[in-house]
């Protein structure tokens, strides 16, 4: 068992990790600004209310920690596209500062939540993208994520900080409804419940992964011995926006009126990841079909 710090531990992904790590017997500490009510259910968590620009708070949070999960982001692909400098200063620069502080504190390994949907960029063909594919991000969000991956390799070579990169697909789950719906599936379910029109942008194909499956894959790829440092965390199955909305209609039995707009120029039309590495190297459950996951989410939020 390890002393673990989850940076962004009160977010959608981070809170699920906190609960799973605590259940597995790890000593868990959280660094988060806690701008929303506490999301995780675990008790006995050492909470540090701060942001990454607070160097003293960061040093206290890192004391005696063996593994850091960096699952904090203050932007989304959409907001970063409008404010690339904000993404650099709030995410990339402060992530580099965190890695430097972790190395100085003697942290053994950092686990970084990257973005499988943006770091690869547009990929020709209809196959699944594996970890050996070149990184060609075209959006500020993806550029920042890819840059941080390179910085982690620098800190490994220069300072001995081991790392694992999780290139995550499109996660979904009931906690995305709190404090307000976020993500395609959560927003679509919310609109269906309220009988409100859904404003759909394009018809991009994405790889959707239920939060429980995501956490299982992340923990296996983060803590178990492996010769690899980079893993796709995904279902391996692509669904278009139209297909997702059809599943929402089928599961809820409710109508969902769509208003269609165009994708931004830096939006990737298709991103389907190949999770074969994590599925074959570790004993993890095969991801549930999207329809089953949406049905479970619908039952949870009803």
Q: What is the pLDDT of residues 191-201, one digit of tens each?
A: 999 999 998 88
The helix (run of H) or strand (run of E) holding residue 40 is none
CA neighbor of 299 nearest in space, from 173, 170, 213, 194: 173
Q: What is the pLDDT of residues 24-63, one digit of tens each?
A: 999 999 999 998 889 999 999 999 999 999 999 999 999 9
CA neighbor of 18 nearest in space, from 43, 40, 37: 40
**Is pLDDT of 258 > 90?**
no
Query: Would you state the pLDDT for residue 200?
Result: 85
Domains of the chain: 3-170+208-233 (3.40.50.720), 173-207+236-301 (3.90.25.10)
Query: Would you state the pLDDT for residue 1?
Result: 66
| % of residues, the chain, pLDDT over 90 | 82
Q: How far apart are CA 118 and CA 166, in angstroms?
A: 13
Q: How far apart are CA 253 and CA 29, in angstroms?
A: 42
Determine contact, residues 196/302, Cβ cutoff 8 Å: no
Average pLDDT over residues 207-211: 98
Q: How far apart are CA 62 and CA 51, in angstroms?
A: 13
Q: How far apart are CA 5 and CA 29, in angstroms?
A: 5
Q: Give this prediction's pTM.
A: 0.95
């Amino acid at each position: 068992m390890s002393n673990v710090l989850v940076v962004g531990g009160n977010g959608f992904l981070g809170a699920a990790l906190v609960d799973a790590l605590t259940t597995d017997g790890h000593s868990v500490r959280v660094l988060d600004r806690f701008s929303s009510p506490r999301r995780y259910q675990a008790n006995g968590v050492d909470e540090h209310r701060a942001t990454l620009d607070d160097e003293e708070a960061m040093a206290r949070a890192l004391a005696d920690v063996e593994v850091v999960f960096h699952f904090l982001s203050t932007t989304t692909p959409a907001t970063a596209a409008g404010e690339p400098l904000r993404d650099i200063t709030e995410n990339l620069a402060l992530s580099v500062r965190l890695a430097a502080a972790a190395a100085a504190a003697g942290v053994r390994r950092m686990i970084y939540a990257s973005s499988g949907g943006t770091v690869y960029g547009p990929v020709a063909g209809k196959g699944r993208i594996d970890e050996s594919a070149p990184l060609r991000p075209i959006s500020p969000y993806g550029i920042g994520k890819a840059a941080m991956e390179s910085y982690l390799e620098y800190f490994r070579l220069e300072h001995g900080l081991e790392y694992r990169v999780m290139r995550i697909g499109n996660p979904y789950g009931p906690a995305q409804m709190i404090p307000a719906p976020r993500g395609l599936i959560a927003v679509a379910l919310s609109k269906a419940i309220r009988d409100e029109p859904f404003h759909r942008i394009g018809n991009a194909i994405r790889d959707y992964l239920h939060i429980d499956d995501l956490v299982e894959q992340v923990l296996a790829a983060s803590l178990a011995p492996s010769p690899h440092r980079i893993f796709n965390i995904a279902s391996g199955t692509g669904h278009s926006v139209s297909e997702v909305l059809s599943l929402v209609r089928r599961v809820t039995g409710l109508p969902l009126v769509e208003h269609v707009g165009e994708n931004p120029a830096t939006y990737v039309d298709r991103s389907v990841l190949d999770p074969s590495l994590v599925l074959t190297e570790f004993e993890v459950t095969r991801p549930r079909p999207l329809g089953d996951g949406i049905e479970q989410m619908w039952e949870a939020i009803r």
